[in-house]
Chain A
């Protein structure tokens, strides 16, 4: 089983619908992140959380919200999806005590907004 699990893996929805992407991890890491990946662009940070009571906006937070329900769970919501939110979304974790700050990624959630 993957250490960082994302659901759903694929989702097709329509403009204006509310969508939630869920992420859970068994690595025991405090830090969790949501990124989106678009062709020809680098990964872009949407939101990040360093512990259950800590939520921070990333580079492209507009149109998104998050919830850190527990140390192991970090969900991303699109309140009213629009076509330019079509992308591959990755959840990631990192260990506060790591020397490198290496990120561990989930398998990705491919979202298509029609």
Chain B
């Protein structure tokens, strides 16, 4: 079966750096997405990786290793507004998105 694994919850300190991991087992691969979802709100797009390596976008970076079925989202200079759930999703060979359950990130002052 297809599976996306990510930690359920993480805690970090304001101003620090946090890495949220995502491992996947899917039938084929056509890209990996990270979305941010604040409580009670809609998910919003953060990043897309289809090739191995690091994609940097401001304070957020996303890394992909297709051979290892692994990605991480790196958040730097954490701010209180970064408290949210972070959803990892993989597009399989049929171009269907498989979603992880999300990682709830709690930022403490």
| Residue positions of A touching B, CB distance < 8 A | 4, 40-45, 90, 99-108
Known: A44-B99, A100-B48. A90 touches B31 (CB 8 A): no
Q: Name the residue in B87, B95, B97 with the highest tally of chain A Cβ atoms < 10 Å from its Cβ.
A: B97
| Docked-complex contact B102 and A42, CB < 8 angstroms | yes
The interface residues of chain A lying within 8 Å CB-to-CB of B95 are 101
Chain B interface size, under 10 / 10 to 19 / 20 to 34 / 35 or more: 20 to 34
**A-facing residues in B51-109 (Cβ within 8 Å):** 87, 89, 91, 95-102
| Docked-complex contact B31 and A100, CB < 8 angstroms | yes
Known: A100-B31, A101-B91. A41 touches B44 (CB 8 A): no
Give the total number of A-B pairs whose CB atoms are below 8 A apart: 48
The interface residues of chain A lying within 8 Å CB-to-CB of B42 are 4, 90, 105-108
Other contacts beyond A44-B99, A90-B43, A103-B97: 10, CB < 8 A = A4-B42, A41-B101, A42-B87, A42-B99, A43-B87, A43-B97, A45-B97, A100-B31, A101-B48, A102-B48
| Residue positions of B touching A, CB distance < 8 A | 4, 8, 31, 33, 35, 40-45, 48, 87, 89, 91, 95-102
Known: A43-B87, A45-B96. A102 touches B101 (CB 8 A): no
The interface residues of chain A lying within 8 Å CB-to-CB of B35 are 103
Separation of A99 and B47 alpha carbons in the complex (Å): 12
Contact sample, A vs B, 16 pairs, CB 8 Å cutoff:
A42-B98, A42-B99, A42-B100, A44-B99, A99-B48, A100-B45, A101-B48, A101-B91, A102-B45, A102-B48, A103-B35, A103-B45, A103-B97, A105-B43, A105-B44, A108-B42
The interface residues of chain B lying within 8 Å CB-to-CB of A44 are 99
Separation of A14 and B98 alpha carbons in the complex (Å): 31
Q: Name the residue in A43, A100, A101, A105 with the highest tally of chain B Cβ atoms < 10 Å from its Cβ.
A: A43
Separation of A64 and B11 alpha carbons in the complex (Å): 38
Separation of A104 and B41 alpha carbons in the complex (Å): 12
